[in-house]
Amino acid sequence: MTEKKVITAQAQGHNGPIDLEIGVENQEIVNVDVKKHSETKGIFNQVFSKLRNDILDNQSFDIDAISGATVMSDAILKSAKDAVEEAEVKIDSKKKDIPHVTEELHTDVVVIGGGEAGLVAGCRALKLGKKVILVEKNGYLGGATILNGSNVTATGSKVAKNIFGDEANNDTPEKLADDVRRESKDTNVPELTNLMANNIGDAIDFISEFAGLEYRKAQTQTPEHSVERQVELPTSSSYEFITKVAKAFEEKGGQILLDSRVEEVIIDGDKITGIVTEGKHKTTKIFASAVVLASGGYGANTKMRGPESQGLYYYGPMTSTGDAYQFLAPLQLKTRNLGWYKVYPHGVETEPGIAKLTTYASKLATDMGAIYVNTDGKRIVNESDVYAELRDAVLKQKDRVAFLVMDKRTWDEFYKLLVLHDFSESEIADYFAKDGKSNPILVKGSLQEVAQKAGIDVAGLSETVQKYNDYAKQGKDEEFGRDSKFLHEYEGDEFYIIEQRDRFATTLGGFVTDADLHLQFENGNKLANVVAAGEVIGGANGHDSMPSMMNSWGISSGFVAGKEAAEISEN
């Protein structure tokens, strides 16, 4: 007689509870399912999929955690094991000891890093007929990209022509490069900016065809860009980009090694002829003709952070630890601007020192007329100006926090984008339940109620909203000169307030290269067979990248690096 049972368990994840159901049949685990979670979807989906497969294969919860997500993995495994034991179900374990082995591989090109830049580089070299191995230290792909939206510039591409029609002719690589120069206040490295601007079109067309990506016009066209050029994938998420590109890479012959952290490089004069990676159960020596370094930034490494990051909230992956600066240290390579970061003004503090972004939702809210106020209830900025103006305004406020004030009409649309971009419905409900008593501040009620809950001066906010409504009626913002198309009277008597804190994830400094992307020694000579791509290079976007430009740099530099590596391997 078949005995079936469904056992429930709850683990504590990084962002909140993870509710599980374990299906058991005749002392065998037949399924493990997640009913609710608030984790970053792009990471969680990959981690849990592998964890579930390992549980079912081993018929045990005493298995390895997933690299890069150890805390979450261990929490899931422990809670599930405890729940099964509490239900007095004995599982017939098939777990086998895994010996540690050493493997040696040979390839044309090895790519270090499984984020956006590394995957594009790998795909380009593969397309050019090379054997490519990509190594990633985590047990999942995506790097910092996995936390971003998918929006990117499409300047000069067939994709842009299909999306924007004749208006695409208004954009040129020169215009894009000039926008970068202007917004970065001439802190960019022109040759890298030009590389990005001149190649992003071909890069978008290439990866779209290679991986079957279908870009559309981005919902948000930000004012930093002088023309409409921003596109995104249907889900708006970079998770779609990472999964589709990785799938295409493997289907077309590329090899991906997860849980493969680079510990050592094999040096021969001005070349790196191989790398040594370590995983839980394997040491791998990979010998290659060419190396692409796409290992990402260092935002989570507090020892590498400069004064500029002090007091700001971090929202990037905790695995962005700048590993390359350690395993390449013996080479004494040249770096630039390691204290520079991309700071955004749209963060909510989910735990001390850690923030999640609301950029897309916040931009929509201000397009619909929402305003930013401080604890005195006073407006602080032209809400429809470029992000840098809001960022600087927030930095000037007490405790470096501002508040976005919305009516229900705006909140309903804001909420949809929160859920689309990495917030769960239960997570948002939990924030409301705090009722302003702890961070993050997210409250609703009458204008007086939300002001009191958020710690904002009631009289000051009431006066500000009345004054703003008058500006909206007359179609003229006498205080900050906001464009009349973004002025909209508040409707109804239900208001919503959410905190907005400056936060960072992306590091803007990095290794020095010129337009051929070769890493350089301190004396100016170049590593002959090593090129870099993505966030590990400093300079392309200067000290303040525009929205969509880090994705643009990752994709374009990966595209160029892949071709360069393929050519190196032929020599």
For residue 442, pLDDT over 70 is answered with: yes
Helix H or strand E segment including 88: none
Tens of pLDDT, residues 501-549: 988 888 999 999 999 999 999 999 999 999 999 999 999 999 999 999 9
Mean pLDDT of all residues in 456-469: 98
Parts of the chain belonging to CATH 3.90.1010.20: 5-87
CATH of 5-87, one of 3.40.50.150, 1.10.10.10, 3.90.1010.20, 3.20.20.10: 3.90.1010.20
The CATH 3.50.50.60 portion of the chain extends over 103-340+508-569
Say how many residues make up the chain: 571
* Encoded tokens for 518: 């070769």
Question: How confident is the prediction for the chain on average, in pLDDT?
Answer: 95
Homologous superfamily in CATH for domain 103-340+508-569:
FAD/NAD(P)-binding domain (3.50.50.60)
Beta bridge partners of 372: 404
Distances in whole angstroms, Cα of residue 185 to Cα of each of 141, 222, 327, 380, 541: 34, 18, 33, 23, 10
What is the pLDDT confidence band of residue 314, given thresholds at 50, 70 and 90?
A: confident
pLDDT in tens, 340-367: 998 888 889 887 777 788 988 999 999 9
CA neighbor of 548 nearest in space, from 148, 41, 123: 148
pLDDT of 15 > 80? The answer is no
Find the helix or strand (DSSP H, E) in which 532 lies: strand 526-532
**Tens-digit pLDDT profile for residues 542-561:** 999 999 999 999 999 999 99
271-278/282-293 β-pairing: antiparallel
**Residues 186, 554: Cα–Cα separation, whole Å:** 20
Task: Outline which parts of the chain fall under CATH 3.90.700.10.
Answer: 345-504
pLDDT of residue 1 exceeding 60: no
Residue 311 pLDDT > 80:
no
CB-based contacts of 303, cutoff 8 Å, min separation 6: none
pLDDT for 94 beyond 70 = yes
pLDDT category at 84 given cuts 50, 70, 90 is very high
Nearest to residue 334, comparing CAs of 325, 342, 343?
A: 325
Please report which helix (H) or strand (E) contains residue 550, including its range: helix 549-570
Question: Under CATH, which number does the domain 345-504 receive?
Answer: 3.90.700.10
Q: Which residues of 541-564 are buried (b: 16+ CB within 10 A; e: fewer)?
A: bbbbbbbbbbbbbbbbbbbbbbbb
